[in-house]
Amino acid sequence: MESSNGNSAHSPDNSCTLVVMAKAPRPGTVKTRLAQSLPVDAVTELYRCLLDDTMELARSLGTVEVAIMCPASDVDELTLLAQCAVGVVAQKGEGLAAGLTSVFAHFAALGRQRVVAFNSDSPHLPASVLESAFEALTAHDMVVGPTHDGGYYLVGAKAAHPALFHGDGMGTKSALETLLARAHGLQLSVGFTDTFYDIDVEGDLNRLAAELRLAPARAPRTAAWLKQWEQTMPLLPTDIGDL
């Protein structure tokens, strides 16, 4: 498995690793469900902002090592976008299931005791939730961050369990149910972080826009993009009451 290693500005705890599941921001390859409602070029630029803010959130944890897992074809581009601040690792195989399997296979082999895989489009998540994921792994074999739509925005473990992500069910409304059933079959104890939402469809973006109007510092690049987008394409609601 190829990797591009960068130097972090922090002194990370080598036992804890937060891995952001990312893709290079190329038109037609990112946020494809959202692209059904918005122009592809706009969605691509939005994803770049979400990824930048998500990486800032990840690095804000300070004592946790941060890395990126991505398709092999995206390693060079993401290394440039990350400005060599974190390691970028190529997954083995195609698709999200292969990416998640690669996360735990790669970092568990390096002796990391607690590894959390996190999506690349939730920069609005409080840092305390990510911290709680690592705390949950002190008492459980796994930790999961559920989303309101039946998926999950993070999953963590203390060891590699390839059967967790094998087969179908990824990216569907039954993804969480499928994951928990497999964990039960492997007799793994599971802890949970707070239920949250990620950015998959226009309704999610509307909700994020409303929140960032009130607190743009939570994801400044995304907030700036949304503000500019609303000025040119006033499609989003103007207050939380519209949600």
The whole-number pLDDT of residue 49 equals 97
Share of the chain above pLDDT 90, in %: 72
The whole-number pLDDT of residue 172 equals 63
Give the pLDDT mean for 20-45.
Answer: 93
pLDDT of 7 higher than 60: no
Per-residue pLDDT reduced to its tens digit, 131-163: 999 999 999 999 999 999 899 999 999 999 989
Q: Tell me which residue of 238, 13, 44, 27 sits closest to 112, measured CA to CA.
A: 13
The whole-number pLDDT of residue 3 equals 52
CATH code for the domain defined by 3-197? 3.90.550.10
**Which residues on adjacent β-strands are paired with residue 145?**
154
Per-residue pLDDT reduced to its tens digit, 197-239: 989 898 999 999 999 999 999 999 999 999 998 877 655 444 4
Give the pLDDT mean for 79-89.
Answer: 89
For the chain, give the mean pLDDT.
88
State residue 156 phi and psi, 5-degree precision.
-130, 160
The whole-number pLDDT of residue 74 equals 97
CA distance 157 to 17: 10
